Structure 1
Amino acid sequence: MSQAKVPVWVNVGLIPLINILLAFVVSALVILAIGENPIEAAGYLVYGAFGYDEGIGYTLYYATNLIFTGLAVSVAFKAGLFNIGGEGQAYIGGLGVGLLCLWLDASMPFWVIAPLAILGAFIFGAAWAYIPAYLQAKRGSHIVITTIMFNFIASSLMVYLMVNWLKEEGRMSPASRIFEENAWMPYLYELFEPFGIDIGDSPLNLTFLLALVCCVLVWGLIWHTRWGYQLRTVGTNATAAEYAGIDNSKVTIWVMLISGGLAGFVGVNEIMGVNHHLLLNFTAGYGFAGIAVALMGRNHPIGIVLAAILFGALYQGGAELAFEMPSITPEIVVVIQGLVILFSGALENMLKGKIEALFTRPVTA
């Protein structure tokens, strides 16, 4: 007698869906406890995220950043590394984008600036991840500790640069001058407008397509290349990988470079796509939310896209909910997000055994 294998779709789809539903059930109880109708609240949340063109645009705009940071966490996690430095890597990636735009916007066209800015975001984000990677690979420093520390260093560095070097003269707030329009990432509604297609006025821009391209590239790298095989082998069993001749230190470093570069792409969306100037705190916690997106998406690009859209919907729909029902403050929306993370991450195994048992049965050899 042998035990039947659990279908892949159970672990990839069914269990995460049940966990999310449980999170929303508990969220409904929280809303009920403050004296509001949870069904009405859910209606406002869904309508705000998907009920009209502009809302969908904002949902996908938020999701774009979360796809980048979710992929960054996923790539590192596949190699057995827990990169919690996405926030700092995104910050420094944005610095790279801003510096290139400030340097080139007066002399170069968009088609020259855009690829250089994308490359700059990747290089700056990767460079910020390199030092923790080197310390882990060569000195044994734990990647979790060093990446967390580098988030704070990145924040302090940005404050220093913005206040003392990059602030526009005569401006009180620590922000650079506005880029020339040839250094702006085109909004998708502007691209569709000439064809008579109205998708609503939102910050959604071409960077969303870059995020989808990154998903395809990460999928190809991890599951269809020799380097991806090395990455997964190190993440599964580092000792066996070393015995097989894989250089674990080298894998650790290049994986973290890719992870940091992916997080750096947040700067393309925020600096070049939306704000059009360098400023402080543009990362807005996307680096940390990306950890939950990767966990919920089972570290697979398709799952990460779906999880990112869910969190984007919570961001956008939560803003609509807080506006329509003032008693439900933005802090309550954060509680809902936290419950989704709790049930999808920390409590993901709570019902896993029982659900898997429904799909397994003894098989006669």
Structure 2
Amino acid sequence: MTLEKETVRDGGPVRRRRPYWGGSWLVTVFAVVGALLVGAVLIAIGDEATRASAGYFFSYPWDLFSNVWYSVRDAYVALLQGAVYNPSFSGIAALRPLSETLVNATPLILAGLAVALSFRVGLFNIGAQGQIILGAVLAAWLGFTLDLPVVLHLVVALVGGIVGGLVWGGVVGLLKARTGAHEVITTIMLNYVAINLLNYLLSVHGFQRPPYGQAISEQVAANAELPPLLGSSLRVNLGLVLAVLASVFVWWLFERSRLGFRLRAVGANPNAARTAGMPVGRLQIVSMALAGGLAGLAGATQVLGVTGSVTSSVAGNIGFDAITVALLGRNNPYGVIAAGVLFGGLRAGSVQMQSSTGVPVDLVGVLQALVVLFIAAPALVRAVFRLKSGGGAGVGSELAGGWTR
């Protein structure tokens, strides 16, 4: 983000941009740093040796500082090894941590784009969870019921996932445009509808896998599976490429297309857009449908590229984590990619961190919550890290106005 300073040149005002050390991007970076620092405090408090050395601090104070350092260092090194590179692996296995990071990041990026897109239009899409579930259900059903050639079967299943999420999101937009129903309420309610619909389908013969003793769907056919990118021994697959392409599409939509201009106008001021003759209700329906389609694609990539079947936990917490990803990415498609990779790395590394140091994986959830807290309070971040205030907008303005250039 830049601060625009108006200067006078040859008798006329000229707008000149200059960087300042308090922009939204820098606040975002320090929000992550602040979350890691608070996490370090929690790690130290939870470490048994650190607590023991605190009991005789005034006799041997160095023991406390040493134990704090080693507990935090070992935890974060293990987190990094589980997310990026583990020197104990060799050959292609050395890429396994990075592969797991990208696998976790793929649905987060797609769902984060779904949330960011609706935020750009002034709508709060809290229903990505339900849209992911519908996308996963329809993609899986097409994946195990049809018998088509390899490429065609995959395309049909992916399109089915997009359509499932698109319809689920479009319902929200339709209710908003036609009845004025608040999208936060309708998306939350539709989340519960989707969850219960999934539980019902997992008990229906034809969707449930024989011998019908467990709540799991039929296995997706091999023709409909997303191919791996780095060999069959690593789980990263074509879904990552689709997530990057979706990010490029969202950028193009808002920055280069006529439809995107109208969507941005509605997000900036729906009353002004309506006065200018824009069909605000129709644009709200389109925006929620597009957001739902992106979330549905996230569900499709999970089923076709990772799990191979649908269970009651197919969406996990992806839909809710996507809100954090969109906030951290400042609703910028490329920022969403970076935030998705960061959170994917935290998820992947948390397993190694717990197995190596005993720090529970729940710390990752705490870090995510702290990131949201700091982003929602940019004045606090600027005060703690002594950043100059450039009049940057808070989280509310970011949600309504989108990214800055």
Q: Is the contact between residue 162 and residue 174 of structure 1 (CA under 8 Å) also seen in structure 2? A: yes
Identity of aligned residues (%): 32
1:122 aligns with 2:162: yes
User: Which of the numbers 246, 253, 257 marks the counterpart of 1:221?
Assistant: 253
Aligned residue number for residue 334 of structure 1: 365
Alpha-carbon distance, 1:12 to partner:
4.6
Shift in alpha-carbon separation, 1:157–1:58, aligned structure 2, 3 A: same
Q: CA RMSD in A?
A: 2.1
Letter in 2 for 1:184: E
Farther-moved stretch of structure 1 (349-358 vs 91-100): 349-358
**Structure with bigger RCO (C-alpha 8 Å, 6+ apart):** 1
Equivalent positions of 1:244-323 (< 5 A) are 244-323=276-355
CA distance in 2, matches of 1:352, 1:253: 38
Alpha-carbon distance, 1:130 to partner:
1.6
* Secondary structure of 1:190's aligned partner: coil
Q: Residue by residue, what CA displacement relative to the aligned partner does 1:63-91 show, whole Å, maximum 9, x if unpaired?
A: 10110011000110000000000000000
Aligned residue number for residue 52 of structure 2: none
Tell me which protein shows more helix as a share of its residues. Answer: 1
Q: Is the contact between residue 70 and residue 291 of structure 1 (CA under 8 Å) also seen in structure 2? A: yes
CA distance in 2, matches of 1:82, 1:356: 30
1:324 aligns with 2:356: yes
Q: Residue by residue, what CA displacement relative to the aligned partner does 1:32-89 show, whole Å, maximum 9, x if unpaired?
A: 1112611111111111100141000000011101100110001100000000000000
Equivalent positions of 1:154-233 (< 5 A) are 154-165=194-205, 166-190=207-231, 201-233=233-265
Alpha-carbon distance, 1:189 to partner:
2.1
Aligned residue number for residue 80 of structure 1: 122
1:28 aligns with 2:40: yes
Aligned residue number for residue 27 of structure 2: 15
CA distance in 1, matches of 2:245, 2:185: 31
Q: Is the contact between residue 112 and residue 322 of structure 2 (CA under 8 Å) also seen in structure 1? A: yes
CA distance in 2, matches of 1:134, 1:352: 40
Aligned residue number for residue 147 of structure 1: 187
Alpha-carbon distance, 1:115 to partner:
1.2
Shift in alpha-carbon separation, 1:308–1:356, aligned structure 2, 3 A: same
Shift in alpha-carbon separation, 1:357–1:155, aligned structure 2, 3 A: closer
Farther-moved stretch of structure 1 (47-56 vs 332-341): 332-341
User: Which of the numbers 83, 100, 109 marks the counterpart of 2:149?
Assistant: 109
Letter in 2 for 1:81: L
Letter in 2 for 1:335: V
Q: Is the contact between residue 314 and residue 337 of structure 1 (CA under 8 Å) also seen in structure 2? A: no
CA distance in 2, matches of 1:38, 1:337: 18
CA distance in 2, matches of 1:97, 1:8: 47
Ranges in structure 1 where 5+ consecutive residues have no aligned partner = 192-200, 361-365
Alpha-carbon distance, 1:230 to partner:
0.5
Letter in 1 for 2:380: M
CA distance in 2, matches of 1:260, 1:175: 24
Q: Residue by residue, what CA displacement relative to the aligned partner does 1:133-184 show, whole Å, maximum 9, x if unpaired?
A: 1111110110011001111110000111111241122131111222332222
TM-score by length of 2: 0.81
* Secondary structure of 1:357's aligned partner: coil
* Secondary structure of 2:387's aligned partner: helix
Letter in 1 for 2:254: I
- Following TM superposition, where does structure 1 have runs of at least 4 consecutive aligned residues deviating by more than 4 angstroms? 1-6
Aligned residue number for residue 347 of structure 1: 377
* Secondary structure of 1:185's aligned partner: coil
Letter in 2 for 1:34: G
Ranges in structure 2 where 5+ consecutive residues have no aligned partner = 8-15, 48-67, 86-93, 393-405
Q: Which has the larger radius of gyration?
A: 2
Q: Residue by residue, what CA displacement relative to the aligned partner does 1:186-232 show, whole Å, maximum 9, x if unpaired?
A: 111228xxxxxxxxx33211011000000101100011111111111
Aligned residue number for residue 101 of structure 2: 59
Equivalent pairs counted in the alignment come to 347
Aligned residue number for residue 47 of structure 1: 81
